Amino acid sequence: MKYSKELQNIGLTTKQAQTYLACLKLGSSSVKPISELVELPRTTTYEVLEGLYKKGFINRLIKKKIRYYSVEDPRILIKKVKDNLEGAEKIVPDLLGLFMSAKVLPEVKLYEGKEAVINAWEEILQEGKKYKTLRVITNLQPFETLKKYFPKFRQKRKEIGLFSKILLTNTPESEKFIVKDTVKFQETKLLPENYKFNVSVDIIGDKIFFFSLKNEYTAVVVQNKEIAQTIATLFELIWRSIKN
| DSSP letters spanning 151-167 | HHHHHHHHHHT-EEEEE
Q: Across the strands, what pairs with 200?
A: 211
In this predicted model, which residue has the larger pLDDT, 181 or 238?
Answer: 238
Tell me the pLDDT tens digit for each residue of 154-192.
Answer: 889 889 999 999 888 887 777 776 666 666 678 888 888
Check if 4-72 and 106-241 are the same fold: no
Regarding the domain delimited by 4-72, which CATH topology (the fold level of the hierarchy) does it fall under? Arc Repressor Mutant, subunit A (1.10.10)
* Confidence check: pLDDT of 62 > 70: yes
> What was the pLDDT predicted at 88?
64
The C-alpha angle with vertex 14 and arms to 9 and 17, in degrees rounded to 5, equals: 75
* Distance (Å) of CA 43 to CA 39, 46, 48, 116, 231: 12, 5, 9, 41, 61
Domain locations in the chain?
4-72, 106-241
> What was the pLDDT predicted at 208?
94
Class of domain 106-241: alpha beta
Question: Please, where are the H alpha helices in the chain?
Answer: 4-9, 14-26, 31-38, 42-55, 74-101, 114-128, 141-145, 150-160, 172-180, 225-241
- Mean pLDDT value across residues 96-108: 60
* Distance (Å) of CA 231 to CA 6, 227, 235: 46, 6, 6
Q: Across the strands, what pairs with 133?
A: 163
* Confidence check: pLDDT of 238 > 80: yes
* Confidence check: pLDDT of 135 > 90: yes
Listed in sequence order, the residues at least 6 apart from 12 whose beta carbon sits closer than 8 Å to its beta carbon are 20
Q: Which helix (H) or strand (E) holds 211?
A: strand 207-212
Of 25, 51, 30, the closest CA to residue 42 belongs to: 30
Amino acid in position 70: S
- Mean pLDDT value across residues 196-208: 89
* Confidence check: pLDDT of 240 > 80: yes
Q: What is the mean pLDDT of the chain?
A: 81
Q: Which helix (H) or strand (E) holds 93?
A: helix 74-101
| Cut 0.75: pTM above it | no
